[in-house]
Chain A
């Protein structure tokens, strides 16, 4: 069965530092996508960034970038210049092309310290 793993239950980072949140996945499928979502304490799920398995360039969205290493099956989220508002749960999610069923990792709770 497909599996997605976030090995960091919690992370503490100083404001303005960069932070990398780890995500690895286990699949034999060739066509798939990887997503990162943010869940602040208010509870909503906010889409951050997406990477397709055939995309040659790493995805970037503002301060967010995705370090995609296909051979290692990892899709780490990098947040540059962290802000207090970045404190939240972060979820990595995987989906096989066509299935549209998101499979989520366990999440990482990120805390940004002033």
Chain B
């Protein structure tokens, strides 16, 4: 009964490669997010989608491209991987971003990306 799932959990790859991380939520939420946690444990939002539409893009390099095929899925594709992309990437979801309230975000287990 996993609420927010991510695959893969671990990803080790070489510089210059292209990789994808997948995220799925079964909570019926409208909004999904990608966060990056760096080696110092600092968490920062990258993107958010509401009903398949991009609503937040936080000065992330163009090499990162999120895609939401439907509101239950949000994938992250990364081109030309660099050493600095090594981090833990968290997917999250929340009921809505309609502007009428504040909602808890439910996080996936994270994907640890290591670029060598």
Q: A residues within 8 Å of B by Cβ? A: 31-33, 35, 37, 39, 43-47, 50, 52, 89, 91, 93, 95, 97-104, 106-107
Tell me which residues across on chain A come within 8 A of B12, comparing CB atoms.
none
Which of B56, B102, B107 contacts A45, CB < 8 Å?
Answer: B107
Number of chain B residues whose Cβ lies closer than 8 Å to a Cβ of chain A: 31
- Is A47's CB under 8 angstroms from B97's CB? no
Decide yes or no: A101 and B48 within 8 Å by CB, A47-B104, A47-B106 being known contacts. Answer: yes
In the complex, per-residue mask of B40-60: 1 if CB is within 8 Å of any chain A CB, else 0 = 111111001000000010100
- Is A44's CB under 8 angstroms from B99's CB? no
- Is B106's CB under 8 angstroms from A98's CB? no
- Is B41's CB under 8 angstroms from A89's CB? yes
Chain A nearest CB: distance from B57 CB in Å? Answer: 11
Closest chain B residue, CB of each to CB of A96: B102
- Is B102's CB under 8 angstroms from A101's CB? no
Taken together as a complex, chains A and B put the C-alpha atoms of A39 and B43 apart, in Å, by 11
Which of A32, A39, A93, A98 contacts B99, CB < 8 Å?
Answer: A98
